Each structure stands twice: as structure tokens, then as C-alpha cells.
Amino acid sequence: MLFYVLGLPFLFAFLILIIPNKSKRIIIPISGFLSLGHFILTLILYLKYDITGANFQFVINKSWISPGINFHIGVDGVSLLLILLTAFLFPISFFASVKSITKREKGFAFFMFLLEGGVIGVFVSLNVLLFYLFWEIMLIPMYFIIGVWGSKNRIYASFKFVLYTMVGSLLMLIAIIFYFKATGGTSFELTDWLAKGPLSNPAQKWLFLAFALAFMIKVPVFPFHTWLPDAHTEAPTAGSVILAGVLLKMGVYGFIRFGIPLFPDAFMKYRESLIILSVIGVIYGGMMALIQKDIKRLVAYSSVSHMGMIMLGLLALNIEGFKGSVYQMLNHGLSTGALFLLVGIIYERTHTRQISDYGGVAKLMPVYSAVFMLIMFSSAGLPGLNGFIGEFLILWGTFEANKLIAVFAASGIIIGAAYLLWLYRRVFNGPVKEGLKEKVFDLNIREILYIVPIIILVIWMGVYPSTFTKMIKIPHSIQKHLIIKGGVEK
């Protein structure tokens, strides 16, 4: 079952290539329905998942390449939720791209499916080198998605994206090989490595730094975030949605699955510095979002701020923080993804992203404005919507770990409300800007259809979070090494 969830996107990628060029108009809708089918398959996987069951489920373990590179996959609650998020966002991105992708549709669908396969591969791999392979696979499709279908400054942005990620991941590769040698040079299996216990210093310290750098670039933690605003801004809507929605989560997931369990002592040593960097990210991201003139860039910087919050929840190292962190990953995927979709919708009509070109949109597009307001509140953490639950849990966890940091983090949330509300005021309220009236029209059926599922989830996750929180358990590999203060499930 899990094998099909992982393999289908790759199969779809090559199926798409068979469609003749004459009927290229239908390629993206077809891809949308294919990935919708894939999402349904993922839902079945989710329903079959046994919450009370063992740590990893649906495990497949086959030897593949010597030395010790096994095709070893499996999911636990955290990775299953992230896979669900991935499979949920892809059909939406496809349907959002029907009108906006007007050239080389086949290539677009091909790369999107490769990307989906790579991302799911990252979340299911239990072999460190397999994880690395998938981690790198998604780089190439993203490079093409930004570079071919992006906006004006796309070449620079795509280059920067590849280069940043490449530096981090190559150092991680060396660290992986070094770890492999240190554990006897026979296996890349995560379980084998964990069974051997953590390495001695200073090797553990250096290897942790190499891993952490790769993950921090991906998250991105301040000061490694500079690729993100460019990549997000220049990518096409679907690319931004996927980038914000799932790709950034891979970094945090890397810390959860590999960073902390493999290097517990080094992690504890650098925890404080990571906390400080994350808090800086929360506030700095928010501040930068305040002063942006480009809507998409604003949302991109808000991502930096939110990802800082997610890191804080993880670094608090208690049950609330952990749950909040994973929950907030889902929220961020939904609300930031939706924000990018909405920005994309209005960009398709006006072909401008400058805030100053807008004004009074609420009068022209009432439905759109209502949807935008809802998503905005979800992103700002209004009680009753999903963002609140995540941020509340994170702040609770952080408060238990360090009160001062929690105060700073909370101020980040206030800044978040500020830039979003200010954005709303400038774009939607006030007098209608000249020339806007001829261009814009309200949401059409297609757009409503792909936005509504997100809205339903946003409300559901805000009112009844335990559907998802009950899936989130701290993996044994983390619990074993670290003292988790406070909380219910000690």
C-alpha cells in the first residue's frame, strides 16, 4: 500500500509523457484528477493506519544496492500527516494551474509528479541514504518549475535555490558517509545506527552540524533564509504552494527523524543557539513582511516567521511543543498554501503583485475577499481556526522551556497579525484603484471548488483538532534520549 503511495506519482510522471502533444490543453486537468486519485489512496492509507499500533507501519524492507542501502520505507503518525498534507496540496495546485500554465504543460505535470514522489519519499524513508536520495531528487523538478514557469527574475531565483540546497545536502552526504564508516561500514539503516548508540565527540558534534546545516537551509532558519523570498516570489503559483506547503517541512522533519535521534548530545549542546536563531527568525521574518511592497514576498517572509515558530515548538522538547510543532506544520501548509493560491488568483487577473496597485478589491470581489479574510485569520492564529491551536501549543511548550523566549515568540504573533491586517486594509479596503475594475472579477466555479476543501479543513482543524493531534506522538527514538519536561504523556 505504502509502496503505491510512493510509486504512483513517479508512474504518473511518465504516463503524462505519453499523452500526445495535440491534446496538451487537457494535460493539467488530467494530472489534477490523477493526483486526486492519489490523494484518495493516501486517505485509505490514513484510515488503515493503527493509532495504537507499533512505531512504524506499512514497512517494506528490501535490499537494493550494496553496501547497506536498503529500500526501507514505513510511516509513523508524523510522517503520515505530512504525506496527507502533500497528497492534499498537489491536486489543488494542479487545478490552480489550469489557466496560469500556458506553455509546456507536459513538462510541468512531469516535474510536479516527480516532485510529489520525491517529497513523499523523504517522508517515508527509513534508510538514511534512501532519505538522502529523495531529498535530492526533489531539487531538480523544483529547479525547473521555478526556472521555466516562473516570473521575471526566475533564473536568478532558481539558481540560488539549487545552490543553497546543494551546499547543505552535500555536506550532509559527507556526514552520512562518515557516520556509515564510524558505525562499521556495513549499513545505512536508521535502526542499525540508532541501535549502535550516539557517536562520541567531537565526531558527533561535526556530523550534527553538517546535518543541521542542510535542515536549517531547508526550513529555513535565520540566517539561511535568503533563498526563500526569491524562490517563493518567482515560482509559479503551484510552485509556491508546494514550496511553502511541503518542501519547508522537510527540514523540520529531518530534525525530528534524524537530527535529534542520531545526535542527542550535540543537539542538546546547540539547542540554545538554535532556539535563539529561531526566535530571531520569528521576529525578523515578521518585521520584513511588514515592509514588503510585493504581496507574494510578504507571504514568503511570513513563512520565515512561521517556520521559526515551528522550530521553536520542536526545540522546546516537551510534548506540547512537539505536538504544536507538527500541528503547526499542517496549518502552515494549508494557510500559507492557500494565501499563495489567493495571491495567484488575483495575479492571473491583474498581472501585478504590487500592493500599491490594489485598493478596494472587497467591493469588486466580495467572495474572494471573504475567503482571503478567513485564510488570513487562520494564518494569524485567530481562535476557532486551525492556526490558533498550533500556535497556542507551541507557546505553551516554549513557555515551559523558557519564559523569556516565549514572550519574544508571542510578540512575533502580534507582528504577524499586524502585517496581515495591514495588507488586508491596503488591498481590500479603501477606494477602488483606477483600472482595477475592468480587470478583476470574482471567483469562478473552478477556483471555489479548489479553495473550499482548504476552508473546510481550516475550520475543522480549529474546532476539532484531536482528529489530527491524536496521530502525533513523540517517536521513541527522541523520547529515549531526551528528558521531556511537563505535559501529559511523560
Partner 1 sequence: MSDTYITSLPVILAALSGILILVLDLFIKKSEKIVFFFSVLFSIIIPLPAFLFYGLKTKAFSNQLLTDNLSYIFLILISIISLSVILISFSYNKRREIRYNEFYALLFLANAGLISIVSSYNLLVLFLSFEIFSFSSYILTGIVKDRLSSEASFKYIYTGIISSSVGLLGIAFIYGTSGSLYIDKIILNGNYNLGLIAGFILFLINIFFKFSIVPFHIWTPDVYEGAPTPVSSYFSVAPKLAIIIFVIRLININFINLMNFQTLIWILSAATILWGNLAALKQKNLKRIMAYSAIAHSGYISMGFLIPFDLAYKYLIFYSISYIFLNLSAFTFISYLTNGVKDDAELENISGLSQKKPFESFVFTLALISLAGFPPTVGFFAKFYLFIALIKQGFLYITLIAILGTVISVFYYFRIIMYLYFKEGEKEFGFDIWGRIVLFFNMIIILFLSFYPEIIFKFLRG
- Residues forming contacts to partner 1 in the complex (CB under 8 A) are 65-67, 104, 132-133, 136-137, 139-140, 143-144, 147-148, 154-155, 158-159, 162-163, 166-167, 170-171, 173-174, 177-178, 180-181, 185
- Give 151 or 411: the residue with its C-beta nearer to partner 1: 151
Rg (the chain; Cα; Å): 22
- Give 103 or 403: the residue with its C-beta nearer to partner 1: 103
Enter the DSSP assignment of 21.
G
Degrees (nearest 5) of the Cα angle 47, 15, 144? 95
Whole-angstrom distance, CA of residue 114 vs CA of residue 126: 20
The cell numbers describing 141, all together, are: 523538478
Smallest distance, Å, CB 73 to partner 1?
15
- Give 102 or 356: the residue with its C-beta nearer to partner 1: 102
**Which H helix or E strand runs over 39?**
helix 27-48
Whole-angstrom distance, CA of residue 114 vs CA of residue 133: 13
Answer whether 271's CB lies under 8 Å from 317's CB: yes
**Which H helix or E strand runs over 64?**
strand 57-65
Buried b (16+ CB within 10 A) or exposed e, 215-248: bbbbbbbbebbebbbbbbbbbbbbbbbbbbbbbb
Whole-angstrom distance, CA of residue 410 vs CA of residue 283: 9
- Give 155 or 463: the residue with its C-beta nearer to partner 1: 155
* Residue 432 Rama label (left phi>0; alpha psi -120 to 50; beta): beta
414 C-beta neighbours (distance < 10 Å), count: 10
Whole-angstrom distance, CA of residue 64 vs CA of residue 73: 12
Smallest distance, Å, CB 8 to partner 1?
17
- Give 180 or 263: the residue with its C-beta nearer to partner 1: 180
- Identify the three-state secondary structure at position 124: helix
Smallest distance, Å, CB 90 to partner 1?
21
Smallest distance, Å, CB 289 to partner 1?
29
- Give 144 or 211: the residue with its C-beta nearer to partner 1: 144
Smallest distance, Å, CB 205 to partner 1?
15
Smallest distance, Å, CB 167 to partner 1?
6
Smallest distance, Å, CB 326 to partner 1?
27
- Give 19 or 167: the residue with its C-beta nearer to partner 1: 167
- Give 60 or 443: the residue with its C-beta nearer to partner 1: 60
Smallest distance, Å, CB 12 to partner 1?
18
